[in-house]
Structure 1
Amino acid sequence: MDELTQNYLDYLIIEKGLSDNSLVSYSSDLAKFITFLEKNRIHDLNDVDTTVILAWLIDLAKKGLSAKSRARHIITIRGLYKFLIAEKKIIKSPVKDVDIPKIGLALPKIMSIQEVEDLLDAPDIRKPKGMRNSAMMEIMYGAGLRVSELISLRLQDINLDSNFVRVMGKGSKERIVPIGSKARTITLKWIKEGRPFQLKKISSAYLFVARAGKPMTRQSFWKIIKKYGLAANMSKNITPHTLRHSFATHLLEGGADLRSVQTMLGHSDISTTQIYTHISKDYLIKMHQKYHPRS
C-alpha cells in the first residue's frame, strides 16, 4: 500500500503540480488512511469497501476533525482510487458513492508571459539534450498538453508541415492541437540533429527519448522543469502543469473563446475549463484599472 500511495503522490507532484503545502496535506491524509486500514488488518487497497470508508469517516469525526477536514480526506482518497484505477492497479473505487460537501475550487497557479519566455529560453539548444528539453517545453506550452500526453508522443503524432500535434488524451480521446512556429523550429532541430545523437542507432517510436530510446518519465520531465526554473531565477513553484495552466490562461487573455480552449485542452466538460475565466477576469480588471480613465 505504501508503494501505491507513493506513486499517487508522485503523480500529484508531476502531473497535477501540487504545491508543497498541498502535498503535505495529501501525505498526511493518506498516512492516516493507511494507518486506519492496518489497525483493522486490511493490507490491500482492493479489500476496502464502502463500509470500511464509512467506518474511517466515523473514526475521523471521533478524533475531532471538522466537516471540511473530513471532506478533504474523502477527496484525497477518491483521487487515490481514481488514479489507481487509471493505472490498472485497482478494480473499483469504494469512495465513488460517498457524498462530499461542495468545496470551492482553487485557482491554478500560472506564469506571466515574460516568465514563460524566460523558462523556455533557459535550455542550451546547442546540445542534444537542450534541444530535446526545449522542444518538450515549447510543445507543452504551445499545445497545452498534460505531461503524460507529452511523454507519450510518438514521431508519427507530430506534423511539422501543417504545424499540429495529435494527442491521445484521457479516456483514449484523440485531439488535434496546433503548435506555434517556435515549437516547430526547435522540434525540427531536435528530430534532425539531437534525436539521432541521443538514440545512437537505437530504434524508437517515441518523439522524445531518454536513455536507450525509452520515453521520458514524468519524474524526469518534472526535474527538467525545476532545473530550468532555477536557471531562469523563478521565485514561484514551477511544475509541468503550470505550463498547461499558463497556456489556457494566456489564450483567454488574448481573446480566445472558451470552447476553443476547451477543445485544445481536451476537457470533456466545459465547466472544467471555466476555472480559467476567473483568472482572466482578474486580468481584465487589472487592465481596466490601469488603462481606463475613469477607473
Structure 2
Amino acid sequence: MLIHQAPTSGELIQLELSDIDLEKATIQIKPTSSTNNRILPLKAEQILLLHKYVNTDRKALKTHRNDKNALLLGKLGTPIQIEDIGYLISTYQKRYTKRLTSITIRQSVITNLLSKGNDLRRVQTFAGHKHLDTTEKYKQTGIKALQNAIEKHHPIQ
C-alpha cells in the first residue's frame, strides 16, 4: 500500500477491515489532522494479496487478541503501530543507497506522479493534501532535483 496508495504511517495504522472493498477494488483512507478522506483504487495484485490476508492470515492472527477491527495486525494479533512500519521498511534498507522511510516512499510516489505530468489537483486528491500548495512543493522538489542533475552532469561548467 505504501507504494501504490502512498498513505502516511498514521493513515496506514488506522485502516480497518471495513475500509477495503475487494469487490469494488477500493480502499478508503480516513482523514487525519493533515490529510483528507479519500477512496483510492487497489491494483490487481493487491486485491489478491488482501483477499488471502483477510481470509487466511489475518484470521489466524485475530484468534490471539481482540483487534478492534484493525486491518493490519502484528504477530501477536494486535493492531500494528507506526514503529512496526518503520521496522518493516528497515529490513529492506540494505538494498538501497538512499535512506528509506515511509515518508520518503510517500514523497517519491507523489513526486513521480507529478513528474509524469499528472494533474496537480488529481495528485492533491490522491495524496489527501488539504492545501494545493502542499502538493506544489513536491513539484518543486522534482524540478530542483532535475536542476541539480543538470548542473552536476552538464558538459559545460
Match of 1:227 in 2: 91
CA–CA distance in 2 between the matches of 1:161 and 1:240? Answer: 28
Task: Tell me if structure 2 keeps the 8 A contact 1:202–1:213.
Answer: yes
Question: Is 179-188 or 149-158 further displaced after alignment?
Answer: 179-188
State the TM-score, normalized to the length of structure 2.
0.81
Deviation at 1:258, TM superposition (A): 0.7
Could you list the runs of 5+ residues in structure 1 that have no partner in the other structure?
A: 1-138, 289-295
Decide which of 24, 29, 34 is 1:167's aligned counterpart.
29
Say if 1:158 and 1:166, in contact at 8 Å, map to a contact too: yes
Tell me the SS of whatever aligns to 1:165.
strand
- The aligned counterpart of 2:110 is 248
CA apart distance, 1:170: 1.9
- Equivalent residue letter for 2:48: T
Mapped contact 2:65–2:78 kept (Cα < 8 A): no
Question: Take 2:18 and 2:137, find their aligned partners in 1: how far apart are those partners?
Answer: 33
Structure 2's unaligned 5+ residue stretches are: 151-157
Q: Residues 211-269 of structure 1, C-alpha deviation per residue, up to 9 Å, x if partnerless?
A: 44321010111011001222xx2111101111111111121122211101111111111
Q: Secondary structure at the match of 1:237?
A: coil
Instruction: Check whether the contact 1:253–1:283 (CA below 8 A) recurs between aligned residues.
Output: no
- The TM-score, its normalising length taken from structure 1, stands at 0.45
Which secondary structure does the structure 2 equivalent of 1:141 belong to?
coil
Once the two structures are superposed, what CA deviation does each residue of 1:149-176 show, in whole Å capped at 9, x if it has no partner?
0011000001122221111122384221
Following the alignment from structure 2 to structure 1, what is the Cα–Cα distance between the partners of residues 111 and 42? Answer: 16
Q: What is the Cα deviation at residue 198 of structure 1?
A: 2.1
Aligned to 1:217: 81
Q: Distance in 1 between matches of 2:42 and 2:147?
A: 29
Q: Percent identity?
A: 27
The CA RMSD over aligned residues, in Å, is 2.5
Return 148-157 or 248-257, whichever deviates more: 248-257
Match in the other structure for 1:265? 127
Preserved CA contact (<8 Å) 1:154 1:206: yes
In 2: Cα distance, 1:201 partner to 1:219 partner: 21
**Match of residue 140 from structure 2:** 278
Q: Which consecutive aligned stretches of 4+ in structure 1 deviate over 6 angstroms post-superposition?
A: 283-286
**CA displacement at 1:201 relative to structure 2:** 6.2
2:20 to 152, 158, 166: 158
- Aligned-partner residue type, residue 192 of structure 1: N
After TM superposition, list the pairs within 5 Å mapping 1:135-150 onto structure 2: 139-150=1-12
Q: 1:186 aligns with which of 31, 46, 49?
A: 49
Larger of the two Rg values belongs to structure: 1
CA–CA separation in structure 1 for the residues paired with 2:103 and 2:112? 14
Select the structure that is richer in helix.
1
**Number of equivalences:** 148
Q: Secondary structure at the match of 2:138?
A: helix
Structure 1 residue identity aligned to 2:122 = S
> Matches of 1:161 and 1:235 in 2, distance apart?
38
2:155 matched residue in structure 1: none
Match of 2:60 in 1: 197
Look up the SS of the partner of 1:192 in the other structure: helix
Q: Identify if the C-alpha distance between structure 1 residues 183 and 250 changes in structure 2 by more than 3 Å, giving closer, same or farther.
A: farther
Contact 1:163 1:179 in 2 (8 A): yes
